[in-house]
Each structure stands twice: as structure tokens, then as C-alpha cells.
Amino acid sequence: MKITEYFAGGEQERWLNQIKRADWRGGQYLYELLRDHRLKELYGEKTDVLLLTDGEKLLSFCTYAERDDIPDPALTPWVGFVYTFPEYRGKRRMGKLLERAYALAKADGYDCLYICTREEGLYEKYGCVFWKMMKDMEGEDSSVFRLPIVRKDYSGILGKTVGGTIDRPLGSAHPRHPDMIYPINYGYVDGVMAGDGAEQDVYVFGASEPIRTFTGKVVAVLHRLNDCEDKWIVSVDGATPDRDTILRTVDFQEQYYMGELYM
């Protein structure tokens, strides 16, 4: 899976035709706005559509916009038109889109993202916090959520040498989800407690075989946006894997969470 920005890619016709398939009034409206080249006119020149794709298939989409249906110009940016096709629901695919929108908002210097919705119990799963009820452009009540942008400081952790235990070695299955096979050694730092009250979890790079213990350097920290714990990235062979390699390797498990990698 990957995320494509609609206006930055060269396959707009393909994605537009798939957006048209959405069985939701909002999706149809988004299709019409894109077809008629009116989206940026209504929602701001910097507005884009984020597309979660798998090859030529569109799984989910949303907008990252300057404005939304709440008529308050002081509030920006917004995530809107959030939709996942029925056959891809139930695996928190939307979280990957919110993760990208979060990264864009952070790069643009904002302190939070806004979402207005009539859904209940949905966006809380993705780290969003209810802010207040507001009237939309049609005068209807909408719940406004905010996703705070955090700027963490891991300078006291990055570069630190740590040791610990591997309880889920490379090639083993997740204890509660047997279809999930670990492509990397996964364990914890002995004696260091994490936000969930258990010992600090680590992904251990640099070992091509299952191992039982490790000693290595923390080369990155994966901060989960919708969870109470971080994951440390530890190298045991002295090499520092690049960002794409880390994210690709841990995606087997982290695809179900929103996260931000600090290196």
C-alpha cells in the first residue's frame, strides 16, 4: 500500500473514476468537485486529496484542506471527505491517511488538525480529541475533533546503548494473531518501563537469524500517535537502516497504528 496525492500524480482520471464508485453522498460530491475543477475553489488552493492505494486499487481517501464545512476561517487545516470502500474496512486503513495528513500539517507548522463529523466513536480510535459542537454551513450540529500535533524530543534516547530480551523472534507468530509472522526480532529492554506499564518494546535490526537477547544502539523511535507507547528501533550490527527500510520492515504490525518516526 502507498499514499498518493491526487493533484501531484499523473493518474487523476483513474482515481477519479474510482472515487465515483463510493456508495456515500459525500464521496459523490467530492467526485463532482474534482470533475468540475471546483475543489480548491471551495476548500482552498492548498487542498489535496490523499489516496490510499494498493497497486491500481483505491482503498480509501480523504482531503487535506484549508477549509471545511465549519464556516470559521480561524480554524485550519481540516481532514474531510473521509471514506474507505466497504471491502477494505475493519483494518483501520483510514489511520494511514490521517497519519499523512498529520505529517503535512506538522510540516506546514500547525499545532493541530480539525475534523468535523456526525460519526460517534470513530475518530477517537485515531488519537483525535473531541473539542466542541459547532454549526456547519447548513446550520446542522457537527462534532469538531482535533488531532494535536506533537513535537517530541528523543535526544536522551537516540544513540543510547541498550540490552534486553527477544520474546518474539524473527519467524515467530504473534501470540494473539497467528497469521502475523514477525519478519524481524522483537522484544523489550530489560528494566526500562514504557507508557503501557510494561517493559519498553524494541524492533531489533541487524540480526538475520532468530536471537534470544540483544545489545545495540537506539537509532530511531517510532512514536505511536494513537497509542500510549513508543517503539524503539535498535541496531545490533552498528549500521543505521534508512527511514524507508525501517517503516517497510515494521509495517506488518504498525499498519494498524498511526505513527511518526524520529531519527
pTM of this structure = 0.89
DSSP state for residue 157 in the 8-state scheme: T
Residues 6+ apart with CB under 8 A from 173: 179, 180, 181, 182
Integer Cα distance of 30 and 63 in angstroms: 9
Cα separations in angstroms, 196 against 116, 219, 224: 30, 22, 12
Predicted pLDDT of residue 93: 82
SS3 86: helix
Residue whose C-alpha is closest to residue 226's, from 152, 144, 126: 126
Predicted pLDDT of residue 220: 98
Predicted pLDDT of residue 51: 97
β-strand pairing of 129-135 with 112-117: unpaired
SS3 171: coil
Distance of CA 90 to the CA centre of its chain: 15
Predicted pLDDT of residue 91: 80
Predicted pLDDT of residue 197: 86
What is the total residue count of the chain?
Answer: 263
Predicted pLDDT of residue 42: 95
Exposure string for 47-57, b = 16+ CB within 10 A, e = fewer:
bbbbbbbeeee
Q: For cell 470502500, what's the residue?
A: 85
Q: What domains lie within the chain, and their CATH numbers?
A: 2-148 (3.40.630.30), 161-262 (3.90.80.10)
| Backbone phi, psi, residue 52, to 5° | -90, 115
Grid coordinates given for 209: 537469524
Amino acid at 133: M
Integer Cα distance of 71 and 54 in angstroms: 35
14-71 confidence digits (pLDDT tens)? 999 999 999 999 999 999 999 999 999 999 999 999 999 999 999 999 999 999 999 9
The segments of the chain whose pLDDT lies below 50 read none
Predicted pLDDT of residue 9: 72
213-231 confidence digits (pLDDT tens)? 999 999 999 999 998 889 9
Predicted pLDDT of residue 162: 98
